[in-house]
Amino acid sequence: VDWWAKNSYGRHVYVGLAAYLVNSRAEAAWRNPKEIPNQIRYLRKDSRIEGSVFFSSKSLSTVARLVSDSLRSDFYKYPALPPQMKWLDSVPPNKPKELMAEATKLGVSLKWKMPERARDGETASGFVVYRFDEGEEISILNPKNIIKISFEDYLFFLDTNVKSNHRYSYLVTALDRLKNESEPSGPVGIETN
């Protein structure tokens, strides 16, 4: 791992996790349900490693059955944006315009308008919706607040997972085709019915 990280030359490094060996007749370590979680922890200690990839995806169902608790509740608890590839495009899109929220019987309806083209001529090709409880710090740096990542150019979202008589704040950011994220539009606050 150290060699790959040292020789990445400004590119991303993703380490392959051998999911196909889990519960196989391979080395004893692979029969230990903690092997994959231990490898993920090890990789996450090195800031030069951008992430990991399970090989093969067919084998992931075996891993999920054996270690699904730690995968869901610890390692992959929140949604994640695809990593930016700054060497290809470092210009983020402009932020969405005119973010509005409305409390409805079904939840909170959010609408916004398409941002202007960015200085590199690109427009938004997706959006990220963030939700915050009243009093919670508003920041797009915490993925626990992501409630929707859309790689479509939809200009609305209905949040049906809300509590009655509760106050929320929302932000929306735009993504370009290489997943650079804009500054947020909002926050806009709303109290549910």
So what's the architecture of 97-191 in CATH? Sandwich (2.60)
pLDDT at 31: 80
What digits encode the pLDDT tens for the residues 50-99? 999 988 877 777 676 767 677 878 888 999 998 899 999 999 999 999 99
What digits encode the pLDDT tens for the residues 1-54? 889 889 999 899 999 998 888 877 778 888 888 888 999 999 999 999 999 998
pLDDT at 64: 67
Mean pLDDT of the region 149-160: 94
pLDDT at 174: 98
In angstroms, rounded to a whole number, what is the distance separating the alpha carbons of residues 10 and 185? 31
Tokens at residue 78, please? 């929140």
Domain with CATH 2.60.40.10 in the chain: 97-191
Amino acid at 111: K
Tokens at residue 126, please? 């997706």
Q: How do beta strands 51-55 and 14-18 pair?
A: parallel
Half-sphere exposure of 152 (CA within 13 A, CB side): 5
pLDDT at 68: 67
Q: Quick one: DSSP state of residue 181?
A: B
In angstroms, rounded to a whole number, what is the distance separating the alpha carbons of residues 60 and 20? 8
